[in-house]
A = this chain, B = another copy of it.
Amino acid sequence: MQESPVAGQDVSCCTDLTSAPLSEERAVELATVFKALGDPIRLRLLSMIASRAGGEVCVCELTPAFDLSQPTISHHLKLLRQAGLIDCERRGTWVYYWLVPETTDKVAAVLTRPAEALT
């Protein structure tokens, strides 16, 4: 995973919704992540992965929790991965998934009001 250099960071990356209108570019970037979160199956998959104490979950442990085919689950996992919310690695027969907390932190920050606004 490559981090963008600090010097190249857009300051608007860190402002929340209540501070200033979002730029078109930033809105497109954030919408991709929110769209991936906008499905109950994907949210449950993400929470199963995110809440795993060891940090990693085998796809073989995710599938039995749903009344859905393996390809359907794989498709949802792919969308979560494309949005940068999870990452994975194949080891032998199985694929293992883990949370990318930088992405959830980023969208959480957009939705979090500054402390002084909480009354």
Contact = CB atoms under 8 A, between A and B. Distances in A.
Interface string A72-111: 0000000000000000000000000001010011011001
A67 to B, nearest CB: 11
Interface residues of A, number: 39
**Copies assembled:** 2
B40 A38 contact: no
Contacts of A39: 31, 34-35
Contacts of A34: 34-35, 37-39, 43
Interface of A: 17-22, 24, 27-28, 30-32, 34-44, 46-48, 50-51, 65, 99, 101, 104-105, 107-108, 111-113, 117
